[in-house]
Structure 1
């Protein structure tokens, strides 16, 4: 017996709530992961990436085996998307770590979270999702917020205590991470719920292991970390895996645009952690830029939610009319 309109509506609402909760958990997990990496003494991005990928491999493989999921998809197109998702996700994570080293945690997270609007742009191009005039306006305002956080010297002058080279490198790495993260989100959404999250994460893990090892060997920086950094590596891996898992589950429950908007609350978590742990007070321009980026994300959430509600109301109304006609 097929489910009626009321049951379908309840299922949609339940998925929406679950998607919201998963995205919020992903945001807090990523913020804590960035904080832990900032606290590391000697562990670099390669060590963090390797430990996270290794632990994730150990945890994910039994899940995929238990669920009896095929690691390799049946068609070539899906396998290519899985590989591309894994590569972009690994490089996005790697560039994010290096950005946190060069600039404050809150600034790095704010710039990385511009991928909210970038995801909408790529989703419009790749997934044929609608892009309105308001979306374009929010994208421009997000870029203004990015400029306020980055504070380029050709606009603001050299007003930071950090060296200009470090600021430029950190901003470029953070923005590169945002671009790659948005592509990763679109790939996950393209795969849909037919691909179990453990399969998607498995491809991320083996690509992460290969990438981090190759990067460390090329720099001659592969070494055994001290006890303190071993703890840091383990905690960073746990929080990073949790964030990835929650994010994948959220994307399977709701639209890509809405999920990444909720996940952008990572900005708030990062600013609070930065203030509590490091006693670092953001500059006025950084704070305004971060709030502007978050505000644009919030407005985009309201827009998407209202649009989805209107569509659901129209669908319910059409279903009721069809039932009434059948009874006549």
Structure 2
């Protein structure tokens, strides 16, 4: 039986959250001179390059799959979510953009019920409703229908939730590293297409920032996977919300951004919904 190490898992998850928030800071910085299409492409390209040593030493056998269709669906949802998320980071307060990303689990039960026919009980409906209210508060409901930036942030949440459900759909046969590889590979190929009309010259500083963003994102994913191998998500999952705290603190120091009351209440509701979702009674 695998031993549970909650302290080590929580520490790694906190480190993953810090790296993810630093990635957001890097995206905000580079977006002042580099367009969204280029940021998405280079972030995915670095992910593919990360797998090069695996392919060189072990060949293509570990990457063999019979679920190419599922990987393509996961790429479609995940890549669309990435475009929306990076756009939100560039145009919204950083903490708000991070909140939209971490509110994806709010929508996951509904999508899993519709797509995978998973049961949907009263508890799930209540937590989804609480989380959705939180998302609307972050999106500023008085202007959400008119504010394209807030709508893009909400779209990032919903598309990420679809990506999570697509991962669940194929997790019975596909290990995590294979899903990450195909997502990085297909996302790189697809995100290269817009560069045929959106390519722009970049400085060495821009390229260095893009490389750092890709490395931070990849390292964050790997460390997060290791954290969840040491302790179950239900035990340490809320630690991931430190990314919002880290991002808010850095944005306050770097750009003087401070969350308003609506965002703070929305964050509390989203966080509460996540706690209710994972705090299921023991069977």
Structure 2 residue corresponding to 1:148, chosen from 137, 158, 166 = 137
CA contact (8 A) 2:88 2:150 kept: yes
Which whole-Å deviations, capped at 9, do the CAs of 1:183-217 have from their partners, x for residues lacking one? 22222233337534332222122222222221232
CA contact (8 A) 2:80 2:159 kept: yes
* Residues 80, 101 of structure 1: alpha-carbon distance in 2 compared, 3 angstrom cutoff: same
Correspondence 1:199-218 to 2 at 5 A: 199-217=178-196
2:200 match = 223
* Residues 298, 268 of structure 1: alpha-carbon distance in 2 compared, 3 angstrom cutoff: farther
Q: Does 1:243 align with 2:233?
A: no
Structure 1 residue corresponding to 2:71, chosen from 55, 62, 82 = 82
SS in 2 for 1:87: helix
* Residues 185, 64 of structure 1: alpha-carbon distance in 2 compared, 3 angstrom cutoff: farther
Correspondence 1:1-328 to 2 at 5 A: 8=1, 11=2, 13-14=4-5, 23-40=13-30, 41-68=32-59, 69-73=61-65, 75=66, 78-127=67-116, 129-153=118-142, 168-192=147-171, 194-217=173-196, 220-248=197-225, 262-301=239-278, 303-304=279-280, 307=281, 310-311=282-283
Q: Once the 2 structures are TM-superposed, how far is the Cα of residue 114 of structure 1 from its aligned partner?
A: 1.6
> Any stretches of 5+ residues in structure 2 without a counterpart?
none
* Residues 48, 26 of structure 1: alpha-carbon distance in 2 compared, 3 angstrom cutoff: same
Q: Once the 2 structures are TM-superposed, how far is the Cα of residue 89 of structure 1 from its aligned partner?
A: 1.6
CA RMSD of superposed structures (Å): 2.9
In the aligned structure 1, how far is the partner of 2:250 from the partner of 2:69? 38
Q: Once the 2 structures are TM-superposed, how far is the Cα of residue 30 of structure 1 from its aligned partner?
A: 2.2
Structure 1 stretch 247-256 or stretch 103-112: which is displaced more?
247-256
Which whole-Å deviations, capped at 9, do the CAs of 1:205-239 have from their partners, x for residues lacking one? 2222222221232xx32023112212211111111
SS in 2 for 1:97: helix
CA contact (8 A) 1:116 1:260 kept: no
SS in 1 for 2:154: helix
* Residues 123, 17 of structure 1: alpha-carbon distance in 2 compared, 3 angstrom cutoff: farther
Q: Once the 2 structures are TM-superposed, how far is the Cα of residue 19 of structure 1 from its aligned partner?
A: 6.3
1:315 match = none
Q: Which of 1 and 2 has higher RCO (CA within 8 Å, sep 6+)?
A: 2
> Any stretches of 5+ residues in structure 1 without a counterpart?
1-7, 156-163, 312-328
In the aligned structure 1, how far is the partner of 2:187 from the partner of 2:253? 31
* Residues 226, 53 of structure 1: alpha-carbon distance in 2 compared, 3 angstrom cutoff: same
Q: Once the 2 structures are TM-superposed, how far is the Cα of residue 115 of structure 1 from its aligned partner?
A: 0.6
Q: Which runs of 4+ in 1 moved over 6 A?
A: 16-19, 251-260
In the aligned structure 2, how far is the partner of 1:257 from the partner of 1:125? 23
CA contact (8 A) 1:119 1:257 kept: no
Output the TM-score relative to the length of structure 2.
Answer: 0.85
